[in-house]
Amino acid sequence: MHTVVVGTSGVTASDVLAVVRGGARVELSAEAVAALAASREIVDALAAKPDPVYGVSTGFGALATRHIGPELRAQLQRNIVRSHAAGMGPRVEREVVRALMFLRLKTVCSGRTGVRPEVARTMADVLNAGITPVVHEYGSLGCSGDLAPLSHCALTLMGEGEAEGPDGSVRPAGELLAEHGIRPVELREKEGLALLNGTDGMLGMLVMALADLDVLYKSADVTAALTLEALLGTDKVLAPDLHAIRPHPGQAASAANMLAVLKGSGLTGHHQDDAPRVQDAYSVRCAPQVAGAGRDTLAHARLVAERELASAVDNPVVLPDGRVESNGNFHGAPVAYVLDFLAIAVADLASIAERRTDRLLDKNRSHGLPPFLADDPGVDSGLMIAQYTQAALVSELKRLAVPASADSIPSSAMQEDHVSMGWSAARKLRTAVDNLTRVVAVELYAATRAVELREGLTPAPATRAVVEAVRAAGVGGPGPDRHLAPDLAAADAFVRDGRLVAAVETVTGPLG
């Protein structure tokens, strides 16, 4: 099994995906263990002094003015975990919880948090055992970290609360730890706070969204090309020299992908045959510009994610010179902004895909295709309601594009008076990515049927590969009306697991 070694300098997106989706094992480097021990010595020394130090010998948040004596500090750390594990609502997905735990471990291993090596080892042991704390949808404001979600994870380390075992059953966390030979941690000064104070949930969801959207943007380039082909459009607008004079990298990449898919097509260029057109509609002609802008947004979001993956986010932090300083690095604004930015790009990509689908179904704009791509229009409704479903998804995506980070609700008796709402931005982006997948699947379903209805014209080799693969996957082709939901579900799965991109790349080679 693949193993990810966590050191002091952060982790990569590939590391995150390997652990949260691939089940990779986690180990601590010798460097990380040494850094943990060194920073713990600093915390222990400060704890022995009479002067109050935030997070070590004081209360938290608006209660930070109270000095806590040595006899109550272990209870203080237990109490912050128990009281902050106050989430409500549905359970969060397993991969998100694993990301929470792994990314908090990443920061702990930086040596900037003052946590003992044995706590970090327990975090790794829980991940490796496949034990997943029960974390709820609501409880994070994205400031002072993803507090409630991370608290539910820390509660499991203490052997309290509920967790899901590797078999999927939810049981008391203490039982699961005992079954796997893991001793619950006894938290000491600073450790409870250090386990809660991070942007780990929103960052984990950002990393996963970037991976999913990388595939989806390629998929959208493919379906846009298939629609252009089915509409007998021109591929001249995809010429590299046209895109070179407006040098946005994402735009050039999308145009190149579409051109690769259309290479060798016998359908493109017929836009002057029976119903002369000077230009194709914007949803076809401007596909690279819209998808390209989204790709460039992905690139910016990836840069933010890389910086955050290299960060040690905690408050207070232990600095190499021995200072323990309060700071504001836990604020989620950098991550929240790009999560919201991605939701906007996702909504627009879905919107242009839906417009192309509608054009394929409208006999007045489809250049010779039957109404709704029906077998016997009037008797058959064809794909009429598939487009309704797609439109409903796009409408929802537009609502999800409203930025969460523009909101802030003060908390902790006005001590935490400006929050990022980054967790909320991440949660709605996950829904948006799911819905974009469905929207692209509907365009794929319509475009492949439309291409097959262009009798006497030969589609591109890449298009033929897609049609063959999608039909082999159980997605039906042209014919009389049938129950559409199973076909659409099969198309969704075909896009979601990357088979659409894989089918094209058997002909084109890797897409950009």
Rounded to 5, what percent of the chain is helix, strand, coil?
Answer: 55, 5, 35
Check pLDDT > 60 for residue 273.
no
Q: 3-class SS at 295? A: helix
* d(C-alpha 191, C-alpha 77), whole Å: 7
- pLDDT tens for residues 171-191? 999 999 999 999 999 999 999
* Known active-site residue 54: yes
User: Would you tell me how many other CB atoms lie within 10 Å of the CB of residue 20?
Assistant: 24
Rounded Cα–Cα distance for residues 191 and 207 (Å): 26
- What pLDDT was estimated at residue 302? 98
Q: At residue 170, does pLDDT exceed 60?
A: yes
Map residue 216 onto helix, strand or coil.
helix
Query: Within 10 A of 448 (CB to CB), how many other CB atoms are there?
Result: 26
Q: In angstroms, rounded to a whole number, what is the distance separating the alpha carbons of residues 311 and 313?
A: 6
DSSP 163: E
- Give the pair of three-digit tokens for residue 299: 């690139």
Of 208 and 197, more confident: 208
The string of pLDDT tens digits covering residues 43-79 is 998 888 888 878 787 777 667 778 888 888 888 899 9
**Residues ≥6 apart with Cβ < 8 Å to 355:** 281, 283
Q: How far is CA 389 from CA 10, 114, 431, in A?
A: 42, 52, 16
Question: Residue 358 in 3-state DSSP?
Answer: helix
Asked whether 64 and 193 are in contact (CB, 8 A), the reply is no
Q: What is the pLDDT of residue 143?
A: 86
Helices (H) and strands (E) in the chain, counts: 19, 9
Helix (H) or strand (E) holding 4: strand 3-6
Which of these is catalytic: 54, 217, 337, 445?
54
In this prediction the pTM is 0.96
pLDDT tens for 484-510 read: 999 999 999 999 999 999 999 999 999
d(CA 335, CA 146): 12
Pairwise CA distance, residues 57 & 76, whole Å? 9
Average pLDDT over residues 283-303: 98
The answer to whether the CB of 131 falls within 8 A of the CB of 23 is no
In sequence order, the 6+-apart residues with CB closer than 8 A to the CB of 22 are 2
361 and 372 in contact (C-beta within 8 Å)?
yes
| DSSP letter, residue 58 | B
Pairing status of strand 3-6 against strand 25-28: parallel
- Evaluate the CA torsion angle 369, 373, 378, 380 in order and state its sign: positive
**Residue 159 clears pLDDT 90, i.e. is over it:** yes
Average model confidence (pLDDT) across the chain: 95
Please state the φ and ψ torsions of residue 286, each to the nearest 5 degrees.
-100, 15
Residue type (1 letter), 81: V
